[in-house]
Amino acid sequence: MAQPAIAPRFPMSSKQSVAKKTTLVSVVLNLALMVLQIAVGTFAHSQALIADGVHSLGDLVSDFIVLLANLHSHAEPDQDHNYGHSRYETVASLFLGAVLVTVGVGMLVRAGMRLTELSTLPAVHISALGIALVVLLSKELLFRYMLREARRVRSAMLIANAWHARSDAASSLVVALGIIGSVCGVRLLDPIAAAVVGFMVARMGWTFGWDAVQDLSDRALDESAADNIYALLMATSGVRGVHELRTRKMGDMALVDAHILVDPLISVSEGHYIAESARLRVLEAPSVLDALIHVDPENDLFGKPTPGLPSREQLTAEITRAFATSSIHVLDVNIHYLRRGIDLEITLPENSAMPAATELQQLRKKLGVRQIRVARELAVVPERT
């Protein structure tokens, strides 16, 4: 069977280091640009440039949220958080979305008020255009740097923050166009540019917030990732089938639950070994945080053993009583609870007499089992010391 391709898992410590480095670069740049935009925007009478400066202030807030989430999201599981703290990233994305929506709506309201006061608006100074172009170039370079690093460590939170920087570049382009129009005498374009920036910020915030809500509501991995996990399970030796495969997001990672189908007549220890082997294969997938593998002797989607079947104690007691008259000593009883009924495997001593077929038939009917197999004990090879 062809083995599914597996991307290497990126170490959490390195991922945290990259997140800290890229976010600090963003903090320093946004702080400098915010001061420059608001100061020059006020001097040059450009509402669009001031709005973009407020946007940069929102970026600073989001950067600090990312830093805080990055600090806590990779903490080890504890008594209160048995599955770890990966959802701190999702909560941070939700809060970031709320901040951006609030900032964007405020910018829209302010731009609307400016549009009602066009006759009193002063002309925009040409210096605003120079700053807008500097900001545009800076944000585009920041976006390319952050996206490259985010993809390298496969962090959804960092990718979102990178695209936030790209939205900043887009908004700076709109601001530059609005300033050009205002400098050329069309004063209407500056507040319109401010309104467009506000809408872009609010829309981006809504996207981040909605995605975070979906992840906090146990959203599953996409179909491609789920198919890869299914392939990893099926590639495990001893696995005959997979069903009830379920995933739920935990930050950038996911928890996996799955039922695997194994030979119903193998031992419990072999079934456990197959399940653990399947779990370790699934953990090789870069998107999987942990996996819970349930072993089924049959596909329980089509039915399960009938509740209330006799227990081991009841069955062995009846078997012992049935063989007492024949002086047959029972060494072991292996019980298989299957959808179609109970199968029994009875082990007798190596030199024991075998029960008659009629005796076994009577026992089978009395116990209400599907079939009984009887075998003598095989010779045991002693363990070397």
Task: Look at the alpha carbons of 245, 246, 250, 251 in this order and tell me if their dihedral is positive or negative.
Answer: positive
201, 216, 231 - which closes a domain: 216
Residue 266 sits in the same domain as residue 327:
no
Is 302 within a domain?
A: no
Quick count: other Cβ atoms within 10 Å of Cβ 56? 24
Is 5 within a domain?
A: no
- 146 falls in which pLDDT band (50, 70, 90)? confident
pLDDT tens digit sequence for 240-280: 999 999 999 887 778 999 999 999 888 899 999 999 999 99
Q: Contact at 8 Å (CB) between 329 and 352?
A: yes
Residue 181 sits in the same domain as residue 255:
no
CATH number for the domain including 287? Answer: 3.30.70.1350
CATH number for the domain including 355? Answer: 3.30.300.20
Question: How large is the average pLDDT for residues 110-126?
Answer: 74
Token pair listed for 240: 């005959």
pTM attached to this predicted model: 0.62
Residues 6+ apart with CB under 8 A from 384: none
Q: Look up residue 38 and give its amino acid.
A: I
pLDDT tens digit sequence for 310-366: 888 999 998 988 888 778 888 889 999 888 889 999 999 888 888 888 888 988 998
Residue 224 pLDDT > 80, yes or no?
yes
Q: Average pLDDT, whole number, for the chain?
A: 81
Backbone angles phi, psi at 96, to 5 degrees: -60, -45
Residue 347 sits in which domain range?
Answer: 312-376
- For tokens 């170039």, the residue is 137
- For tokens 């197999």, the residue is 373
Higher pLDDT: 371 or 114? It is 371
Residue 282 pLDDT > 90, yes or no?
yes
Query: Residue 340 has what pLDDT?
Result: 81
Residue 124 sits in the same domain as residue 259:
no
Residue 197 sits in the same domain as residue 322:
no
Token pair listed for 239: 């696995």
Task: Report d(CA 202, CA 63) in Å as an integer.
Answer: 17
Residue 1 pLDDT > 50, yes or no?
no
Question: How large is the average pLDDT for residues 151-177?
Answer: 75
pLDDT tens digit sequence for 38-83: 899 888 888 778 877 877 776 777 677 666 666 665 666 667 766 6
Token pair listed for 241: 């089938």
Residue 179 pLDDT > 80, yes or no?
yes
216, 247, 277 - which closes a domain: 216
CATH number for the domain including 182? Answer: 1.20.1510.10
Residue 6 pLDDT > 70, yes or no?
no
Query: Residue 259 has what pLDDT?
Result: 94
Query: Residue 233 has what pLDDT?
Result: 95
Residue 57 sits in the same domain as residue 174:
yes
Residue 127 pLDDT > 60, yes or no?
yes
Question: How large is the average pLDDT for residues 185-189?
Answer: 78
Residue 5 pLDDT > 90, yes or no?
no
Token pair listed for 223: 């179909």
Range of weakest confidence among 7-11, 197-201, 308-312, 366-370: 7-11
Residues 6+ apart with CB under 8 A from 94: 208, 209, 212, 213, 216
